[in-house]
């Protein structure tokens, strides 16, 4: 319990410890603490930014979706319109085609009728000639009257 030279030793030791602490221990620890504080602040800021971006992205996504829906309904409407148009067109075409076929058939029928008339005319003429031949066989030479018959045939 006496004050003695230990005092000096303790003071020197104290000074050396403080000096060592100041040079070796304190600065790196403080540096690390500052760096960590900075990195945590950065991390928090990044998180905040990410959250914000997510919000924006989801907003944009919703917008896109809405746009797409609108476009799709547009397309559907257009397609429906087009389909109706096509149906109309087809109807028109079919009508025209039908008319054409009808006209063709009519012409053919007429032709057929004409042909039949021609045949009938020939047969009537032949029949008349045959009748007349039978009547005239007795009186008139067929050859002599052939010219006359031909002209009659022409007139028919």
Partner 1 sequence: MSGETLTSSEYIKHHLQNLTYGHLPDGSWGFAHSAEQAKEMGFWAINVDTLAISFVLGALFLIIFGRTAKKASAGAPSGLQNFVEWIVEFVDTSVRGSFTARNDMVAPLALTIFAWVLLMNLMDLLPIDYLPFVAHAVGVPFLKVVPTTDPNATFGMSIGVFVLVVYYSIKMKGVGGFVGELTLQPFGKFGLPANLFLEGVNLIAKPISLALRLFGNMYAGEMIFILIALMGASWVSATFGSSLLFGSQIVLSLGWAIFHILIVTLQAFIFMTLTIVYLDMAHQEHH
List contacts with partner 1 (CB under 8 A). Answer: 1-11, 13-15, 17-18, 20-22, 24-26, 28-30, 32-33, 35-36, 39
Cα–Cα distances in angstroms (integers) from residue 151 to residues 26, 125, 136, in the given order: 145, 11, 18
- Smallest gap from residue 19 Cβ to partner 1 (A): 9
Report the residue number, 22 or 124, with the smaller CB distance to partner 1.
22
Taking the least distance from each CB to partner 1, the nearer of 29 and 156 is 29
Nearer to partner 1, 23 or 134 (CB): 23
Nearest distance from C-beta of residue 58 to partner 1, angstroms:
31
Distances in Å between the alpha carbon of 3 and those of 9, 13, 15, 99, 133? 12, 16, 19, 137, 184
Structure tokens, 124: 């009537």
Distance CA 67, CA 88 (A): 31
């Amino acid at each position: 319990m006496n004050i003695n030279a230990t005092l000096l030793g303790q003071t020197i030791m104290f000074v050396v410890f403080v000096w060592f602490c100041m040079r070796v221990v304190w600065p790196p620890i403080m540096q690390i603490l500052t760096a960590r504080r900075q990195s945590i602040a950065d991390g928090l800021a990044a998180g905040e930014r990410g959250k914000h971006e997510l919000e924006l992205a989801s907003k944009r996504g919703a917008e896109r979706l809405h746009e797409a829906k609108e476009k799709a309904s547009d397309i559907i409407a257009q397609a429906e319109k087009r389909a109706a148009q096509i149906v109309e067109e087809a109807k028109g075409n079919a009508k025209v085609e039908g008319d054409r076929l009808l006209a063709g058939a009519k012409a053919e029928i007429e032709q057929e009728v004409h042909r039949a008339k021609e045949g009938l005319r020939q047969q009537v003429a032949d029949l008349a000639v045959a009748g007349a031949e039978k009547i005239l066989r007795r009186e008139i030479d067929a050859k002599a009257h052939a010219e006359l018959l031909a002209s009659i045939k022409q007139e028919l």
